[in-house]
Structure 1
Amino acid sequence: MKHLSGVNLGGFFSQVKDDIFTDAHLDTFITDKDIKQIRDWGFNSLRLPVDNFFFETAPFKYDESRLKRIDTVISWAEKNGLDVILDLHKAPGHSFAFKERESNNIWDKSSESNKRFLHIWDMFSKRYAQRPNMLLELMNEPVAPEASQWNAICDDAIAVIRKNDKNHPIIVESNLWGMCRQFENLKKFDDNNIIYSFHFYEPILITHQFAPWVSFVIYDIYKKAVKYPGRPEGIGNAIKLTEEKDNQFSELLRGQDRMWDINELEKAMQPVFDFQKKYDVPVYCGEFGVVVLAEPETRKNWLNDFITLMKKHKVSYSYWSYKNMDFGIVDYTQQYKDNPNYDAQRLDKNTLKALQNGIL
């Protein structure tokens, strides 16, 4: 498999405000000029997150006009020599949000949600079987109660896709938000064209410092600037207080009370590299980044170390995210108009340079 280096198009067909996709947004947020810009920066791929309700009007029913919008982005990418990772970012009966995961019913094979999920991949695999520049990512950040449940639904989806499409790579992410340590529970599938994926935002007190949607900020528990390389201070009390408010989220804070540098990042990713070596399979990081609320030096240093490790271990990657979304390479929101990470053109040159250093 060729080495993929690229960006996410987050916030386009996924994760929009109030889940309302207006024509004004769809016509302007990403255009062919953006795809050309990504190519001109030297990248060879883009990850396209798509929520099921962007195109699913009712169970097993799809809005053809919305599907054609996906087609258009794929065509723009093909024209510019870019591969497209089609990421089912939100799936029927599945939420990767901490407080919603217990209501997920997609893991029940008799549920309508499970059947809808497989029907979507039957539809996509038929629709895009002849497209030359496609990779199919089954689900974003699965949060199955047991890894065996995630492995089982992947087996079913792979079988559905392979009935229609024998050739395109299929991307399978590890359970529990793509955690590296979950690779020990990830199945090696009986298909030679699978790419195994993870997401990496460790340590979260650095990558998500001051992010208004995380529990330790929501509950005013931990609002400190943390440098990288560096050590989060006072984390013990933060874990205890977060447990009281959001016990599931507190698990992400465990083990972070140490000095973080490139060696610690590599240790955190070691289960991925072990899996890669054991099975001689391609691995891919579908999301990573540092929120723009971090100091520019912290964001730059973390990304430089991360990309160094991607090159060392020959791991493909898609940065989160190309535009806006609190992590953007470019950002045109009013919220961050004076953010020190961006220049007058609203470009974060440090992030762009770091990502370009990983291009093989």
Structure 2
Amino acid sequence: MLGALRYIAAVMLMTAVLPVSVQASVSQSNEKMNFWATPQDGTNQFNQTPTEKWFKAAADADVEWVRITFSKWDSQSKDFLAGNLDNYQSLVPEDLAKLKEVIGWAEKYQLKVVLAPLGLPGSRWAQNNSGKRDLRLWNDKKWWEQSSRYWKDIATALKGNKTIVAYNIINEPIAEMGTGLAEHGDPSRYDAWYKKYQGTSHDLPAFYNKVIAAIREVDKNTPVMVDAGWYAQAPAFTYWPKLEDNKVLYAFHMYEPFDFTNRKNFLRKKNGKKMYTYPGKIPYAGKEQYWDEQALENWLNPFFDWAKTNNIPANHLVASEFGAYRKNPGTAAYMEDLLSIFERKGVHWGFYSFREDEWDGYDYEMGNKPLGWKYWQAVEKGESPDRPWNQTNKIWKVLDQELKDDTITATGKSE
């Protein structure tokens, strides 16, 4: 927090001695990065059908920023906004109008937006691709060209929109898949791997530098958020050089240990197996170990050490997704420990997710209770009933406490 305040003071001092015309330029350039000067609490909007009602509810919950993905929205084309990720030509005008309308809802309720497509040309999201992983983007650089043009078009269309505070280039990239690199294990495994694949189509930092350069041709100001490889694992940053652009936010997703956080853990009980409980002994990378707050922090520390080595400040680090299946035993404690780490490290965070319309597994306002037959009966009738949210349950109370905590904003005021 103190480092963020010193940053704000430096900006104020610098602008105070500049001519008025130059001050305006500096102010515009720093406005969006200033949003990230102090820790910001957010959530993820992965709904199939976006509604204004959702944004009002998020604002009422004291959410400050929303990571919006549009890849599940209905479109007359094969892929929303892009038209066709197999052969990108230009943005779909009707889809762009819809996206602007949704961003307008966020603006109405004073929420900031991070745009996060689930797919790019040559990399369609598995759920939109019959469940198959699409690795073309990581196997042939021709898709880098289309992806750069796609993002340049998005940035051109949305340039100057003050509600958008970051472009998240792609959700959970998997540039390492198919190369023989284990998904989990000691972070040092990346070193030899990168020496072999640096400069190839699997070079994720190089890909990001190319796309960011295309964005900067039309938009110098909007920060860019980049996910680490292997589904945005925090340790997957450890082989990276620092990216060339100075308005980059380095984002990771936290669902480890996955054997605990996943819905399959809950299903173990139905299969006659004991569920993994947090804190407790839980398998990871083929070995069972004890997981608690210290173990979570130990798992994240290689990332924090990498950031420190590369002089990347905490206000450029984002836990942009984290969570656990709400019915797993210990989910409230897991969320509480992660939030404790994020707050202590001074990083931004966005929990997954808030009132997702397709699935209730991570709808923490539900606690660990089932929806009940009346809800499903209404759904079968084609209705869209509200879920029986209960903000007094243990899981939501953990999130609610952090969301409602007073913070010092980029303006230096307490809210």
Using structure 2 for the length normalisation, give the TM-score: 0.68
Q: Residue 253 of structure 2 aligns to a residue in which SS?
A: strand
Distance 1:95 1:262, change over 3 A: farther
1:321 alignment partner, one of 330, 333, 353: 353
Distance 1:304 1:110, change over 3 A: closer
2:70 alignment partner, one of 40, 47, 50: 50
2:336 corresponds in structure 1 to 304
| CA distance in structure 2 between the partners assigned to 1:138 and 1:93 by the alignment | 14
Determine whether 1:10 maps to 2:46.
Answer: yes
1:175 alignment partner, one of 229, 252, 272: 229
Gaps of 5+ in 1: 13-25, 236-252
Contact 2:265 2:275 in 1 (8 A): no
| CA distance in structure 2 between the partners assigned to 1:83 and 1:140 by the alignment | 18
1:23 corresponds in structure 2 to none
Q: How does 1:28-43 map to 2 (within 5 A)?
A: 30-43=50-63
For the aligned residue pairs, the C-alpha RMSD in angstroms reads: 2.9
Q: Residue 195 of structure 1 aligns to a residue in which SS?
A: strand
Q: How does 1:157-306 map to 2 (within 5 A)?
A: 157-210=211-264, 224-232=274-282, 235=283, 253-254=284-285, 257-278=288-309, 279-281=311-313, 282-295=316-329, 298-306=330-338
Contact 2:118 2:124 in 1 (8 A): no
| CA distance in structure 2 between the partners assigned to 1:167 and 1:90 by the alignment | 23
What is the identity percentage for the equivalent residue pairs of Structure 1 and Structure 2?
Answer: 23
Determine whether 1:116 maps to 2:146.
Answer: yes
1:351 alignment partner, one of 389, 395, 402: 395
Q: Residue 50 of structure 1 aligns to a residue in which SS?
A: coil
Give 1:323 deviation, angstroms: 1.8
Question: What residue identity is the alignment partner of 1:294?
Answer: N
Give 1:306 deviation, angstroms: 0.6
Question: What residue identity is the alignment partner of 2:331?
Answer: R
Give 1:44 deviation, angstroms: 0.5
Question: What residue identity is the alignment partner of 1:287?
Answer: E
Give 1:209 deviation, angstroms: 4.1
Contact 2:44 2:350 in 1 (8 A): yes
1:105 corresponds in structure 2 to 136
Give 1:107 deviation, angstroms: 2.9
Q: Residue 164 of structure 1 aligns to a residue in which SS?
A: coil
Question: What residue identity is the alignment partner of 2:340?
Answer: T
Q: Residue 115 of structure 2 aligns to a residue in which SS?
A: strand
Gaps of 5+ in 2: 1-36, 73-78, 177-192, 374-385, 408-415
| CA distance in structure 1 between the partners assigned to 2:390 and 2:170 by the alignment | 30
Q: Which moved more, 1:143-152 or 1:304-313?
A: 143-152
Q: How does 1:135-150 map to 2 (within 5 A)?
A: 135-145=166-176, 148=198, 149-150=203-204
| CA distance in structure 2 between the partners assigned to 1:303 and 1:82 by the alignment | 23
Distance 1:67 1:174, change over 3 A: same
1:133 corresponds in structure 2 to 163
Please list every run of at least 4 consecutive aligned residues from structure 1 whose deviation after the TM superposition is greater than 4 angstroms.
95-101, 220-223
Distance 1:49 1:122, change over 3 A: same
What is the CA deviation profile of residues 257-277 of structure 1, one whole-angstrom value per residue up to 9, with x for unaligned ones? Answer: 111100000001112211332
Q: Residue 88 of structure 1 aligns to a residue in which SS?
A: coil
| CA distance in structure 2 between the partners assigned to 1:164 and 1:34 by the alignment | 31
Question: What residue identity is the alignment partner of 2:82?
Answer: E
Q: How does 1:324-339 map to 2 (within 5 A)?
A: 324=356, 325=359, 326-330=361-365, 336-337=371-372
What is the CA deviation profile of residues 158-213 of structure 1, one whole-angstrom value per residue up to 9, with x for unaligned ones? Answer: 1011111111110011111111221212231122111001110011111014269x
Q: Residue 402 of structure 2 aligns to a residue in which SS?
A: coil
| CA distance in structure 1 between the partners assigned to 2:125 and 2:97 by the alignment | 27
| CA distance in structure 1 between the partners assigned to 2:402 and 2:125 by the alignment | 29
1:91 alignment partner, one of 120, 128, 146: 120
Give 1:89 deviation, angstroms: 1.4
| CA distance in structure 2 between the partners assigned to 1:79 and 1:6 by the alignment | 17
Contact 1:96 1:141 in 2 (8 A): no
Using structure 1 for the length normalisation, give the TM-score: 0.78
1:64 corresponds in structure 2 to 93
| CA distance in structure 1 between the partners assigned to 2:394 and 2:97 by the alignment | 35
